[in-house]
């Protein structure tokens, strides 16, 4: 059985693992978890004992298959709860994270199965992120950043890279929602901004926006 703290470490290492290919460094984990490197060293020793990850002094860590499954399960719970908060309780998508951060630690497989069914077996959370299945498998997402599209490309908005409240609120203000169709009218090479058309309105978004919005081409 994993403690709350252990679960938070595992989840964060899992998120870092997606990008990195070598071992996850002690400092990277410490930054993400707002803690000190020495605390991380202590904890990863414990997690290595529990066969959650592989740890060699000074070489960083990598999750074992067991660790990856455990992590995917926590992520699954987090994202299902986010769907619940938005779909059923009318939370907006920029205010669900902190609550889901607590709910993800509730231990009851039955609860999650029933919640999943109640929500209609959703595939993605309110930010467009894929929800891992019961067995901890994550379906690969075929998605590009808006900035990677070229003139006349058309796609569906499927997710955000940055899920900070500020960014989500910006999207709300511009009436950009997940599931929405977006067409690239033109690109401005000078500053990387993109002129898009969505819902019959045409406007420009900055490079910062374009590099944080995932699109699935159609």
Partner DNA sequence: AATAATTTTTAGATTAGTCTAAAAATAAAT
Partner DNA sequence: ATTTATTTTTAGACTAATCTAAAAATTATT
Binding flag, residue 118, its own copies (CB under 8 A): yes
Shortest gap between Cβ of 39 and its own copies (angstroms)?
19
99 binds, among DNA, its own copies, none (CB under 5 to 8 A by kind): its own copies
Binding flag, residue 15, DNA (CB under 7 A): no
Shortest gap between Cβ of 164 and DNA (angstroms)?
22
Contact partners, residue 133, CB within 8 Å, separation at least 6: 76, 139
Looking up tokens 């033109």 gives 186
Q: How far apart are CA 103 and CA 138, in angstroms?
A: 20
Structure tokens belonging to residue 41? 């060293």
Query: What b/e readout covers 54-71, taking b as 16+ CB neighbours within 10 angstroms?
Result: bbeeeebbbbbeebbebb
Binding flag, residue 98, its own copies (CB under 8 A): yes
Q: Which of 1, 49, 57, 135 binds DNA (CB under 7 A)?
A: 57
Q: Which of 46, 105, 197, 208 binds DNA (CB under 7 A)?
A: 46
Burial class (CB in 10 A: 0-12, 13-18, 19+), 210: buried
Binding flag, residue 3, DNA (CB under 7 A): yes
Binding flag, residue 106, its own copies (CB under 8 A): yes
Sign for the CA dihedral angle at 9, 21, 178, 175 comes to positive
Binding flag, residue 45, its own copies (CB under 8 A): no
Of the candidate spans 41-49, 105-113, 156-164, 200-208, the one that interacts with DNA by CB under 7 A turns out to be 41-49
159 SS3 class: strand
Binding site for its own copies (CB under 8 A): 85, 88-91, 95, 98-99, 102-103, 106-108, 110-111, 114-115, 118
């Amino acid at each position: 059985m994993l403690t709350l703290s252990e679960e938070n470490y595992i989840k964060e290492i899992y998120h870092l693992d997606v990008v990195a290919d070598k071992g996850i460094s002690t400092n990277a984990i410490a930054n993400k978890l707002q803690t000190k490197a020495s605390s991380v060293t202590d904890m990863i020793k414990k997690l290595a004992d529990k066969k959650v990850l592989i740890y060699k002094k000074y070489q960083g860590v990598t999750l074992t298959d067991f660790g990856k499954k455990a992590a995917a399960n926590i992520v699954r719970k987090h994202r299902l709860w986010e769907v619940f908060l938005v779909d059923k309780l009318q939370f907006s998508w920029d205010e669900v994270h902190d609550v889901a951060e607590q709910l993800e630690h509730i231990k009851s497989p039955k609860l999650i199965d029933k919640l999943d069914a109640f929500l209609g077996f959703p595939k993605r959370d309110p930010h467009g992120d894929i929800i891992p299945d019961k067995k901890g498998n994550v379906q690969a997402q075929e998605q590009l950043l808006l900035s990677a599209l070229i003139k006349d490309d058309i796609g569906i908005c499927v997710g955000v890279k940055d899920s900070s409240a500020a960014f989500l609120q910006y999207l709300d203000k511009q009436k950009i929602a997940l599931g929405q169709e977006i067409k690239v009218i033109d690109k401005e090479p000078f500053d990387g901004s993109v002129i898009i058309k969505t819902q019959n309105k045409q406007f420009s978004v900055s490079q910062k926006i374009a590099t944080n919005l995932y699109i699935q081409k159609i």
